[in-house]
Amino acid sequence: MKTISVFDTTISNYNLGNQIIMDAVDNILNEIFQDDFIYRLQYAEKFGRQSLSYIKKSDFTFFGGTNSLSSQMNKYSQMGFTVSDLLFIKNKLTLLGVGWWQYQPLPNIYTKFFLKNLLSNNILHSVRDSYTKEMLSKIGIYNVVNTSCPTTWKLTYEHCLSIPSKKSENVLITLTDYNKSTELDKKLLDLVFKKYKKVYYWIQGNGDLEYIDSFNNLDKNKLIIIGPKLFLYDEVLQEEDVDYIGTRLHAGIRAIQKSKRVLILAIDNRAKEISKDINLNIADRDDFSAISNFISNSYKTELNIPFENIEKWEGQFK
C-alpha cells in the first residue's frame, strides 16, 4: 500500500471555487490510488513537524489546483513552504493542475531556486495552461504537461453534446467580491434582469452577498440568492433551467459539468489562458455585444480537452 499526501486547498480558504477544484482533484487521486492511504494537509500556512513527517514518508505528494505559482515566490505565494522546509521535502512535490498567478515578468532567482528544489525532477507535473508551462520552462523545469484544470478532465465530447445550445428561461450569475467593477457589474445585472425570468445568484466568496446587496434597485422578486454551499449550488444546476453567466471561473466550469450553457466573464489570466487552450466560452466583462449575443443566439459547447496529456500524466502512476 502506498502513502499519498495531498495539499487540500479548501483549508484556510474562503473561496468555494477551491471546493470545486478539490472535488475534481480528489476524484482523480482516488481513481489512481484506489487502495492507497491519502493524507490531507493544509496548504497556505507554515507547516508543522507532523505535516513535514507525512510528506517525508509519502510515496507521492500532490498540490492540487489554484494559481499558486508566481514569479516572486518570496513575496507572493499560495504555498506554506519556506526555504528551510526544503531540507526535509526536497523535490517531493508534484503539481496537479496548478496555475500561475496573473501575468508577470520572468521568475526571479529565488523562485528558480525554490521551485527547482521543491518540485519533483523525475515525475511529470500537470499544469492548467500553456502560460504556466512556459513560465516553468523559463527556469529550467521541463518535466511538465499541460492538462488544463482538473475540473475539465471529464468534459468529453459526449458530455458536451448533452449541453443545450439555446437560451434557458432563467440565469445563474456570479460576481467577484475581490475584483469589482460597479459600473460594468451593474450593467450586467440590468441586462440579465431584462432577458431572463429569474436571476439566481451564488455566493462563492464571503463578500459576494454584501456586493449584490449594494445594488439597491434590483427587482427582489426575480432575484434568488443561493447560499454559500457547493451542494446548494449543485441543486440549482441540477434542478433548474438556467444559463450561467458570471465572473467566477470555477463556478462556470461546475455549470458545464452539470450540462449547462455557460459564458464566463474573464477578469484575470486564468479564464483567458484556459480558453486559449481548450476553447472555453469567455468574454471580457465589458464586451456587452458578446454577452448579448450569447443570451440571444444559440451557442454550441465544443471543448478541446488535452486527453492525451491527461492520460500521459495519470499513466505514470499506474
| 240 has a pLDDT exceeding 90 | yes
Q: What is the reported pLDDT for 33?
A: 97
Write down the pLDDT at residue 163: 98
Q: Output the pLDDT for position 78.
A: 79
| Topology alike, domains 3-151+306-315 and 157-296 | yes
Asked if the model's pLDDT at residue 50 lies above 90, the reply is no
Domain residue ranges of the chain, discontinuous segments joined by +: 3-151+306-315, 157-296
Range in 4-13, 19-28, 144-153, 300-309 with the lowest mean pLDDT: 4-13
CA–CA distance, 195 with 169 (Å, rounded to integer): 9
Mean local confidence (pLDDT), 232-236: 98
Evaluate if residue 47 carries a pLDDT over 80. no
Could you tell me the three cell numbers for 170? 432563467
Asked if residue 77 has pLDDT above 80, the reply is no
User: For the range 271-277, what are the long-range contacts, defined as Cβ-Cβ under 8 Å and sequence gap of 24 or more?
Assistant: 273/99, 273/128, 273/129, 273/130, 273/131, 273/132, 274/128, 274/129, 274/148, 274/149, 274/152, 274/249, 276/129, 276/130, 277/129, 277/130, 277/146, 277/148, 277/304, 277/306
* Mean pLDDT of the residues in the chain: 95
Confidence class for position 160, pLDDT limits 50, 70, 90 = very high
**CATH tag for 157-296 (out of 3.40.50.2000, 3.10.310.10, 3.40.50.800, 3.40.50.11540):** 3.40.50.2000
Distance CA 161, CA 155 (A): 10
For the cut 90, the answer to whether the pLDDT of residue 42 exceeds it is no
pLDDT digits (tens, 9 = 90+) for 98-137: 999 999 999 999 999 999 999 999 999 999 999 999 999 9
Which pLDDT band, with edges at 50, 70 and 90, does 80 fall under?
Answer: confident
Question: How is domain 3-151+306-315 classified at the architecture level of CATH?
Answer: 3-Layer(aba) Sandwich (3.40)
203-215 mean pLDDT: 96
Task: Determine the longest span between alpha carbons in the chain, in angstroms.
Answer: 59
Q: What is the rounded average pLDDT of the residues 177-188?
A: 96
User: Mean pLDDT over residues 252-266, rounded?
Assistant: 98
Q: Which three cell numbers stand for residue 184?
A: 460594468
* Confidence band for 4, pLDDT divided at 50, 70 and 90: very high
Measured CA to CA, the distance from residue 99 to residue 21 in angstroms comes to 12
pTM for the predicted model, two decimal places: 0.95
pLDDT interval class at 204 (50, 70, 90): very high
70, three cell numbers: 508566481
Q: How many angstroms separate the CA atoms of 108 and 292, rounded?
A: 42
Quick one: average pLDDT of 51-76?
90
Helices (H), the chain: 17-32, 49-57, 86-89, 109-118, 130-137, 157-161, 182-195, 208-213, 230-239, 249-257, 269-278, 288-296, 307-315
- Tell me, what's the pLDDT at 130? 97
Query: pLDDT above 90 covers what percent of the chain?
Result: 86
